[in-house]
A and B are shown apart, each in its own frame.
Chain A
């Protein structure tokens, strides 16, 4: 079974802090994704990566950056957390071939106070 893990289930940070969210997958997937999920807005793509050291902006990259130094690990960084970044963050991974589904991690509920 594909396993995607995220470093924390719940996280509380203060405004202005630098926040790191880690995601690890064990299926040798090339693609990795970071989403945020908010009520009424659904899943929105922040960043994705097709390969090590490669990244692409999604629909809402502002205020975020990412790092992919190893194939299995994809990190989301909030450079200076703000209250409007309070959300559920979901990591996903997939093979690059057309038609392959994305597998999701358990999510991190981030609260910025």
Chain B
């Protein structure tokens, strides 16, 4: 069983602060890593993906990947109340399980105005 672990939270940060969301995975052969945002009652939507070690920035979002430590994180700068949602980490090892994703249980983020 391929495990993807996330701190379920809830994580609360004040508006304007940096929110840091973390994810660890058990399959060392994993190659693709995705962060989805899910608002309450809605379906997940992709916000970031990363394939290579290091940082990837997209606007206020930065994904960080460390394959040696089997760790991927998402930083949200200048957090806004509209960022309040559950964030899901997803991992894929195409060589082993094709296009099957493994999801964490999600971290609930609340941004306090």
- Residue numbers of A with Cβ under 8 A of B are 31, 33, 40-43, 45, 48, 50, 58-59, 90, 94, 96, 98-107
Contact = CB atoms under 8 A, between A and B. Distances in A.
Given A45-B100, A107-B43, 14 more contacts: A33-B101, A45-B101, A48-B99, A58-B100, A98-B94, A99-B31, A99-B51, A99-B92, A101-B46, A101-B49, A102-B34, A102-B90, A102-B99, A105-B43
Contacts of A90: 43-44
B42 A106 contact: yes
Contacts of A96: 98-99
Counting contact residues on chain B (CB < 8 A from A), the size range is: 20 to 34
Interface in B38-56: 42-46, 49, 51
Closest 3 interchain pairs by CB? A42-B105, A43-B103, A104-B43
Contact of A98 (B8, B32, B44): B32
B103 A94 contact: no
18 contacts: A42-B105, A42-B106, A43-B103, A45-B100, A48-B99, A58-B100, A94-B99, A96-B99, A98-B32, A98-B94, A99-B31, A101-B49, A102-B90, A103-B46, A104-B36, A104-B45, A106-B43, A107-B42
A104 to B, nearest CB: 4
Nearest to B48: A101
Contact of B101 (A50, A102, A105): A102
A107 B39 CA distance: 12
Contacts of B45: 104
B44 A104 contact: yes
Interface in B56-100: 88, 90, 92, 94, 98-100
Contacts of B88: 42-43
Contacts of A101: 34, 46, 49
